[in-house]
Structure 1
Amino acid sequence: MNGFIQTLKNIWSLKELREKILFTLGIILVYRFSTYISLPAINLAEVGDLLEHYKSQGGNKQGAGLLGLLSSFTGGAFANASIMALGIMPYISASIIVQLMGMAIPYLQKLQKDGESGRNTLNQITRWLTIAVCLVQAPSYLTSITQMFLPYSQFQSAYYIEPSQFMFWFPSIVLLVAGSVFAMWLGEKITDKGIGNGISILIMVGILAGLPQAFVQEYVTQTGAAGAGTIVILIEVIFWMVVILLGILLSVAVRKIPIQYVSRAQARGGVTKNLMDGARQWIPLKVNAAGVMPIIFAQALMFLPGLLTKVDSTNTFLGGFKNVFSWQYNLLFALLIIIFTFFYTAITIPVNQMADDLKRNGGLIPKVRPGKDTSDYLDDILSKITLPGSIFLAIFAILPALVFGWLVQTEGFALFFGGTSLLIMVGVILDTIQQINTYLLNHHYDGLMQSKLSRTSNPQ
């Protein structure tokens, strides 16, 4: 505990790091306040009651689970009809599209290799594509909320303007697009002037915003007349901590491939002698090299069956895809995650380039020939570790459905037991901690250098 307090003091003592953290917290506050600004055509006071009524309908409970999942990524803005309802997800979608298009379009491939100028151009393309995605998603969002809520005549006062009018659609679409672009701008400001990856931090903040309410609802349910008591809450918290630990292990687990480098050839007494580096080095191949991207890809496709099915279709096979806790939803979800894990790993881990770089720099894997044999060896190892990694990732993603009902009694709290939400939180927190540690280590290194220089310049 003393070490933790001392670390906090060290962080606060660094002016640059302190300013970055305070700047990041300020941007997060702006983002959270923005999520409570509703669309001008929506009566926010009625939306909460309308959602509760919608969720309470037995025939519509499946749709509510899908709605809750969508809302969790925007900190409730999606369900509250906020100007930030689309959140940062259009930017994520645009980034994925640009990344996939980079495999097929030579111009984008050239930009990826052009260094800083190429990255700036790719970022600009991603921003414009984000606006295009918003122009598609905004009308879809407005259509979904009008179709969900208009059938209930007792909630017609939820709209200040009739949803069929032009003055409902045009300003709402403009504000939804502007809100998403504003969220993108806030994320980029965090990346530039704050600490951590801004886009990821905003997603994590949106997810964490629903955690306190979800835990309170679970506590009330378990301690109520039909609940199992406080001891079950304790068991849930312990199990949740174990799940978080497993998520951390999944994020950091690597397979180390030993390599050796030939530093130089030196002639001594007419004999040429290869001098090897003293320390053996490694190629760290991550067990889950794809991160959360397979879950995001699969999640995007899993929305399609639910959107193609009517809201009140609850007793059909396709109706089950509206329920994120149904067996058919999670079976297909797990299969898609396994497939996308192999796909995304194959396109992001260039084993041929790794083998060429090793050969060019004088590196080699013991007992493996340089060149194609090294490439085949790396590809074989990557395939072997990706299979268990993809299976574990799939189990981790459907864990909320596995614990819901027999352990966790509320849908909101169950969504935090694995899935995209928990993996994003774990990944962002680990990345932010790593950046903070880097600042601390650099400061310590600079201090040692300054002390050394002062001793050199002032000899006794």
Structure 2
Amino acid sequence: MASRADNIASSLSLANFSKATELKNRIWFTIAALIVFRFLSFVPLPGVNPLVLEQLYAQTQGGILDLFNTFSGGSLERMSLIALGIMPYITASIVVQLAASLHPALAAMKKEGASGRQKLNQYTRYGTVFLCAIQGWFLASGLEAYGASSGLQAVVFPGLTFRITAVISLVGGSMFLLWLGEQITSRGIGNGVSLIIMAGIVSRFPSFGANLFEGGRSGSISPFVIVFFVAMIVGLIVFISFMERAQRQLLIQYPKRASQRGMMQADRSHLPLKLNTSGVIPPIFASSLLLLPLTITQFAGQAIDPEGTTGGIINSLNFYLQHGKPLYLALYAAGIIFFTFFYTAVVFNPEETAENLKKNGGFIPGIRPGKRTQDFLDYVLTRITVIGALYLTLVCVLPEWAIAQTGIPLFLGGTSLLIVVNVTVDTISQIQSHLLAHQYGNLIKKAKLKGRLR
């Protein structure tokens, strides 16, 4: 049976791929759209001096800007038209999801089906424009004051005209990325927004690999450290791939119904509960909150003083909240665990799920419908969320600890690995679905042709 399944899988992925014209067109369209995204990341904002900006950015590394710069594929570092990337849309969608779970009117709109989801998507787009405008204004204002303490000026002609131009350009760039992501979703493969984020992260792989192996060649990095990093990344990728596919499937029983032969037959299905229901949201929230004070003081041009004599309490906290410090790792782990439980409670509602099962006549064997089912779902979800929180903590804290021990600036953290692996797995699933649809379409055509010949 195993060999037969392997033969079917290989024939499905190799023989039918060359015949699936629509799938190849979708893949080529996705590649072309991602190339456009990469070209845009090198188009600078009008009125910005890229050489001075490169010098200033090297002085303020380690803050929250590094996280956003990784997701945008270096666009923020170069201050391009898409410097804000797709993050405003991600933030707006999270806010709308939270509001839809807490606000009664939005919760009722969410239950309306396709029309309700369309309205919520429209609200998300409005929120994206609003966030882009606010972030663009503060980014333009920060650019004008960027490097004032060091005597460098990133903006050639600062003033109101530059700020308005920068805001319009940044809003237009982010909304174009959003449109490009929607085109990839409808005409390409998989979730376009996720693919754009993954492309930004993957685009930095060659430079990191080149720097790592160049350090090994020159002797500045030990070969043992290089082997350790490569083994750690490969091990984390395998571990993430396994954990992201892990599910707890609850058996759902439906009442017996009469079949075509007159026999009573009971329907069964499964309710899948993912081990990591919250996805990559907890690491992003936790790291953003921890890196925010450091980013503010860096833009203010203040130096970090470990004794706290010149910088005050904020500078002292910033010293101990740097990457790899014990306090940072402890708070990072605590933040991931907290946001994992919080976001899971927002995304999955046991009461609503139990009510839908009761309306459809379904029940969990041995559990009474209604309140008992709700309590059981909450109990199971809490147990698997504990494992999911520990998994996310391990994946995200281990690279940070490795960076602190070796001193190598590894940009590929746990959050980036989570995004890359998740999107890759989803893309492969989408390709397999298209291949299956193509195979069954050919079978249906052959069956119709044989029926006509007969």
Query: Which position in structure 2 is the counterpart of 1:173?
Result: 167
| Residue of structure 1 equivalent to 2:221 | 227
CA distance in 1, matches of 2:419, 2:165: 33
Per-residue deviation, 1:359? 2.8
1:443 aligns to 2:433 (yes or no): no
Q: Deviations over 1:315-361 (max 9, x none)?
A: 24321376333332332222121111111111211222222333333
Instruction: Look up the match of 2:273.
Output: 285
1:71 deviates by 1.0
Give the alignment partner of residue 306 of structure 1, picking from 288, 294, 301. 294
CA deviation profile, 1:188-230 (whole Å, cap 9, x unmatched) = 111121111111111111111111111211222233233213x
| Counterpart residue identity of residue 399, structure 2 | P
Q: Which position in structure 2 is the counterpart of 1:318?
A: 317
Matched residue SS, 1:290: coil
2:426 equivalent in structure 1: 431
Q: Which amino acid aligns with 2:183?
A: K
Matched, 1:159 2:155: yes
Partner of 2:390: 391
Change (3 A) 1:222 1:243: same
Secondary structure of 1:454 counterpart: helix
- 1:410–1:144 distance in 2 versus 1, CA, 3 Å: farther
CA distance 1:78–1:303, change in 2 (3 Å): same
CA contact (8 A) 1:66 1:324 kept: no
In structure 2, C-alpha distance between the alignment counterparts of 1:337 and 1:75, rounded to whole Å: 24
State the partner residue of 2:361: 362
> Given that residues 26 and 187 in structure 2 are in contact (C-alpha distance below 8 angstroms), is that contact kept between their aligned partners in structure 1?
yes
Please say if residues 243 and 417 of structure 1, whose CA atoms lie closer than 8 Å, have aligned partners that are also in contact. no
- 1:142-157 superposed matches below 5 A: 142-153=140-151, 155-156=152-153
Structure 1 residue 49: deviation in Å?
A: 3.8
Kindly report the root-mean-square deviation, in angstroms, between the aligned alpha carbons of the 2 structures.
Answer: 2.6
Report the CA distance shift for 1:227/1:382 in structure 2 as closer, same or farther (over 3 A). Answer: same
Which of 181, 188, 194 lines up with 1:187 in the alignment?
Answer: 181
Cα-to-partner distance string for 1:45-101 (whole Å, 9 max, x where unaligned) = 34334434x2xxxxx6xx445432231111101011111110110111111111111
Indicate if the aligned counterparts of 1:255 and 1:286 stay in contact, CA closer than 8 A.
yes
- Distance (whole Å) between structure 1 residues aligned to residue 108 and residue 358 of structure 2: 23
Report deviation, 1:422. Answer: 0.8
In structure 2, the CA distance between the partners of 1:5 and 1:400, relative to structure 1 (3 Å rule), is: farther
Q: Residue type matched to 1:300 in 2?
A: S
Report the equivalent of 2:96. 98
Q: Normalized against structure 1, the TM-score is what?
A: 0.87
Task: Using the TM superposition, give the Cα deviation of residue 430 of structure 1 relative to its aligned residue in structure 2, in angstroms.
Answer: 1.0
1:276 matched to 2:271 = no
Distance 1:27 1:294, change over 3 A: same
Q: Which of 440, 446, 451 is the matching residue for 1:456?
A: 451
The letter of the residue matching 2:46 is P
- Number of residue equivalences: 436
Counterparts of residues 186-265 of structure 1 (less than 5 Å): 186-229=180-223, 231-264=224-257
What whole-Å deviation, never above 9, does each CA across 1:230-258 have from its counterpart, x for those lacking one? x5423322221110011112211111222
Report the more deviating stretch, 361-370 or 316-325: 316-325
Unaligned runs of 5+ in 2: 1-5, 307-314
Matched, 1:44 2:50: yes
Distance 1:209 1:353 in 2: 41
Contact 2:282-2:343 within 8 A present in 1 as well: yes
Q: State whether residues 320 and 329 of structure 1, in contact with CA within 8 Å, keep that contact through their aligned partners in structure 2.
A: no
Does the CA contact (< 8 Å) of 2:64 and 2:292 recur in 1? no
Between 139-148 and 343-352, report the one with greater CA deviation.
139-148
CA-CA distance at 1:453 after TM superposition = 2.0
Query: Is contact 1:400–1:415 with CA below 8 Å preserved after alignment?
Result: no
Question: Which deviates the most, 311-320 or 389-398?
Answer: 311-320
**Are the aligned partners of 2:329 and 2:397 in contact in 1 as well (CA < 8 Å)?**
yes
**Is 1:19 aligned to 2:15, yes or no?**
no
Change (3 A) 1:198 1:444: same
What TM-score, normalized by structure 2, do the two folds share? 0.88
1:69-80 matched pairs, under 5 angstroms: 69-80=67-78
CA gap 1:50/1:356 in 2 versus in 1, 3 angstroms: closer
Determine the structure 2 residue equivalent to 1:57: none
Contact residue 66 and residue 323 of structure 1 kept, 8 A: no
In structure 2, C-alpha distance between the alignment counterparts of 1:400 and 1:144, rounded to whole Å:
31
CA distance in 2, matches of 1:429, 1:297: 22
State the AA in 1 paired with 2:162. F
1:404 counterpart residue number? 403
143-152 or 74-83, which moves further after superposition? 143-152
Q: Partners in 2 of 1:147 and 1:160 — Cα distance?
A: 12
Change in 2 beyond 3 A, CA 1:47/1:235: same
SS at match of 2:276: coil
For 2:17, what is the secondary structure of its paired residue?
A: helix
Q: Distance in 1 between matches of 2:357 and 2:340?
A: 26
- Whether the aligned pair in 2 keeps the contact of 1:294 and 1:344 (CA below 8 Å) is yes
Give the secondary-structure state (helix, strand or coil) at the position aligned to 2:222. coil
State the alpha-carbon separation in 2 of the partners of residues 24 and 313 from structure 1: 45
3-state SS in 2 of match to 1:13: coil
> Structure 1 counterpart of 2:200, which letter?
G
Label 1:364 to 1:205 Cα distance change in 2 as closer, same or farther (>3 A): same
Q: Distance in 1 between matches of 2:207 and 2:127?
A: 35
Conservation of the 8 A alpha-carbon contact between 1:240 and 1:417: no
SS state at 2:114 partner: helix
Identity %: 36
**Which residue is equivalent to 1:124?**
122
Q: Following TM superposition, by how much is the alpha carbon of 1:366 offset from its aligned partner in structure 2, in angstroms?
A: 2.1
Q: 1 CA distance for matches of 2:361 and 2:138?
A: 55
Q: Tell me, in whole angstroms, the C-alpha distance in 1 between the residues paired with 2:346 and 2:404.
A: 38
Q: Tell me, yes or no, if structure 1 residue 28 matches structure 2 residue 34.
A: yes
